[in-house]
Structure 1
Amino acid sequence: MSGPGTVPVVRAADSEADQRRVAGELRARGVGRGERLVVSAAASPELLAVVLGALRSGVVPVVLDPALPAAERAALVEDADPALDVGDDPGQLLGHAVGDLAPFPLARPMHYTSGTTGRRKGVWSGVLPDDDARALAREEIDLWGLTAADRYLQLSPLHHSAPLRFAVHTLLAGGEVLLPGPFDAARAARTITEQRPTTTFCVPTHLLRLLREDVDWSSFRLLAHAGAPCPEPTKRAVLAALPDGAVQEFYGSTEVQFTVCTTEDWLAHPGSVGRARPGRRLTTDERGQLWCEVPRWARFEYWRAPEKTAAAWDGDRVTVGDLGRVDDDGTVWLDGRREDLVISGGVNVYPAEVEAVLDGHPDVVESAVFGVPDDEWGQRVVAAYVGPVAPDELSAWARERLAPAKRPKAVHRLDDLPRTSTGKVRRLDLPGVLGL
């Protein structure tokens, strides 16, 4: 780890030594294989050691947002039923005794879904058979080409599944993790320029803010983004700023990963989310809902919610309720979530389709489309957006490009859109924000 006053650097060998101390302490405390360990702490070398030390001991870490209100945290802890809760102090598990570690994680962390559309659900995979556990780790390392030469820049909170997954697998591949602290665009820009990371995961909000800074992007071989749709002007600006081929997008969820979109695929199909990851196949049903066939090691259930698990699975196929299309060549397009669908006068309106039109205006930074109750039409389409364009001008832009049922009946300019901590827009909050 680096010295005081600098960005902490977690090195694989140092972390492995700490992971062995975690394994020894878990054994001393009687926390066994398949049991759950709750931790809710800010990003730190200790947190990474606890997550990996637990996983490589067959203990399942339940990683919670340290900013959760006390009542919500208590409810999730009760639901998770852990053998141990270390709260915001993962360092207490770095004991003196050392324990054995498996060469790869034996489980996935249990995360709770973000709750943008309802009650949070725990995503549980349990302890995997060794062959499946090895395949799960190998898939992630091979997909992103992670090696001991990588320096991964942590920009997103570690209590979310994607950034934690990148950090964990970078360390498993022998690389390093840079931990500059809670996201601050100026600090992140300095870290990129001075520390020369090779990889990062981020959300479009990070990209929007970093593009306003003076950043030397030349060290990156991989910038992966996901978590929310990326406005086309932002995507093109990032592609222009980074080395050729370094920008990759992916489509996934807390539950399961679906696609990867290389720079080449996105330029050929702007706005798509790429093609299925290796070992997966995506199809749609008669309602336009996306289903994905996944390998054994990608299976999961919703913790203590068998009815929700049953609704998500059909044999080896799984859905998280997203709507979309799959072209003949396997290119996948997202139309939104079933819960976000607006039905106006009997016509299905997909917010993502309307947002793509609004985001195409040169003075729109980003937009969000949602439905509000309407006595005549059932729901009417409403849009909120960020950018200098006047509402009347944006309405005229939409009228020229959308069928009548899809045109927003009102557009509202905001300084920012409400989001989850992963950068996803909280569409369901917008009526309250706007007083509708």
Structure 2
Amino acid sequence: MSDSLFHWHPACRLLEPQTPDDVLDALCAALRDGAGFTIGETGLARLPEEQGILQSRSSGTTGGAKAIRRTHGSWIASFRVNAEVLGVTPADVYGVLGAPVHSLALYAIAEAAWLGADLLCLHAQRPARQAEALRDAGATLLYATPTQLRLLCEAGQALPDLRHILCGGGRMPEGLRARIAQLCPNAALREFYGAAETSFIAWGDAGTPEGAVGRAYPGVEIRIDAPAGEVGEIWVRSPYLFEGYAEGSSADTRWRDGFVTVGEMGRLDGEGCLAVAGRRSRMVTIADRNVFPEDIEALLLAEPGVRHCAVMPRADPRRGVHLVAVIAGPCDGDTAERLLALCRGAFGPLAAPRRVIGLADFPLTASGKPDLRQIAARLEAGE
């Protein structure tokens, strides 16, 4: 197997059910040819003069659109790691819940194709149908975000054949691990942390302490730009890093001495476990206290009925800023007061959101994350 080019292992089968999808078809063809390509919401285009290059386009959750450029080899290196650590063989069946334009799903599809596992792409299916398809195909390995896993759990379908679940793209709400364990009793759940620019940074297992995502992924070096045990910016050096932005830029992303940061904050404990606090650009200071909206979002997302949530800053003439929580769907007075009381109990009256707002058409990015720019614009417009 080449270390520098994607390929389609002869043992890999694209399983039913598949919904007709031009982007997925083009991606599979590019993987078969080892072609360089760029992929995003508008589709896939080959890069005929740049074999071995992948450019994934991001609409951006908080900033402008970017094209993240990396080599095929930067992902192939982690394919080999996962095959060894997880024991992946052509007998495995990968379940992928996200669309191929989302970097997590794109990675999972490329990994399955390269390692020869069968592949079940379910992004066009409802959660209940996804659960049925995973059961019927005997899926053994699943890549998903916390939101996708929550929706899958709501379907209530037992998935005893799953032996590995890799969860990334956000924090895991309280209680989700227990729900997954009930429906997938034979699966080892590995929460991991990374970014489209860095790929894997850290991952955990059953022994990871509460509140931490895990230890450094094999081959990764993590540094925190703060005294030991304190919260600081996360810097990473590894074989899996991107080359740079082919289009656009990010003020959060910076290079220094071979390390890169994407503006995330966190801390390392004495055992090397990484806890992620949130994005530096989203952190707000209220009454001389640094508050990460991601902490509040994780608390609210653990509540039944809260499918999507974004905690947003609003100007405050007395304190400079206060927070509001925006959730998907309707929100009556009783629900709002219950959620606010929950936040006040966990974070205190100053850091807790001042209001809860329900949006019937909650804006999401292509990757299924809250579109913070759109939500901010709608708050400004007074919705």
TM-score range, shorter chain: 0.7 to 0.9
Aligned to 2:57: 112
TM-score by length of 1: 0.72
Contact 1:284 1:291 in 2 (8 A): yes
Structure 2 counterpart SS, 1:264? coil
Q: Structure 1 vs Structure 2: percent identity of aligned residues?
A: 26
Contact 1:198 1:219 in 2 (8 A): yes
- Gap change, CA 1:179 and 1:411, over 3 Å in 2: closer
Aligned to 1:161: 103
2:201 is the alignment partner of 1:261: no
1:171 aligned to 89, 113, 119, which one? 113
- Gap change, CA 1:230 and 1:165, over 3 Å in 2: same
Letter in 2 for 1:172: W
Aligned to 1:13: 10
2:255 is the alignment partner of 1:274: no
Contact 2:127 2:151 in 1 (8 A): yes
Partner Cα distance (1:137, 1:358) in 2? 34
Contact 2:12 2:116 in 1 (8 A): no
1:234 aligned to 148, 173, 176, which one? 176
Letter in 2 for 1:405: L
Structure 2 counterpart SS, 1:110? strand
**After the TM superposition, which residues 178-257 of structure 1 pair with which residues of structure 2 at under 5 Å, given as runs?**
178-180=120-122, 182-256=124-198, 257=200
- Gap change, CA 1:172 and 1:309, over 3 Å in 2: farther
Partner Cα distance (2:136, 2:190) in 1? 23
Query: Greater Rg, structure 1 or structure 2?
Result: 1
- Gap change, CA 1:343 and 1:377, over 3 Å in 2: same
Contact 1:141 1:170 in 2 (8 A): no
Aligned to 1:65: 41
2:24 aligned to 35, 40, 43, which one? 43
Partner Cα distance (1:358, 1:369) in 2? 10
Contact 1:192 1:216 in 2 (8 A): no
Partner Cα distance (2:303, 2:276) in 1? 20
The structural deviation recorded for 1:155 is: 1.5
**After the TM superposition, which residues 37-436 of structure 1 pair with which residues of structure 2 at under 5 Å, given as runs?**
41-44=22-25, 46-53=26-33, 56=34, 59-66=35-42, 82-83=47-48, 107-126=52-71, 135-180=77-122, 182-256=124-198, 257-265=200-208, 269-286=209-226, 288-295=232-239, 297-303=240-246, 312-359=254-301, 367-385=309-327, 390-414=335-359, 417-434=362-379, 435=382
Letter in 1 for 2:60: G
The structural deviation recorded for 1:298 is: 3.0
For residues 107-163 of structure 1, the C-alpha deviation after alignment (integer angstroms, 9 at most, x for no partner) is 3521123411212222223576xxx78645423433443211111123211122221
- Hey, which of these two has a bigger chunk of strand by percent? 2
- Gap change, CA 1:124 and 1:357, over 3 Å in 2: closer
The structural deviation recorded for 1:363 is: 6.9
Aligned to 1:89: none
* RMSD between superposed Cα atoms in Å: 3.3
Q: How many residues align?
A: 359
Gapped regions of structure 2 (runs ≥ 5): 1-7, 14-20
- Gap change, CA 1:369 and 1:433, over 3 Å in 2: same
Partner Cα distance (1:123, 1:319) in 2? 14
Contact 2:162 2:186 in 1 (8 A): no
Partner Cα distance (1:161, 1:362) in 2? 28
Contact 1:275 1:330 in 2 (8 A): yes
The structural deviation recorded for 1:343 is: 2.8
Contact 1:202 1:224 in 2 (8 A): yes
TM-score by length of 2: 0.81
- Gap change, CA 1:312 and 1:139, over 3 Å in 2: farther
Contact 1:361 1:397 in 2 (8 A): no
The structural deviation recorded for 1:166 is: 1.7
Contact 1:419 1:425 in 2 (8 A): yes
Pick 1 or 2: higher relative contact order, CA cutoff 8 A, min separation 6.
2
Contact 2:68 2:247 in 1 (8 A): no
Letter in 1 for 2:365: T
Partner Cα distance (1:311, 1:414) in 2? 31
- Gap change, CA 1:310 and 1:145, over 3 Å in 2: same
Structure 1 counterpart SS, 2:105? helix
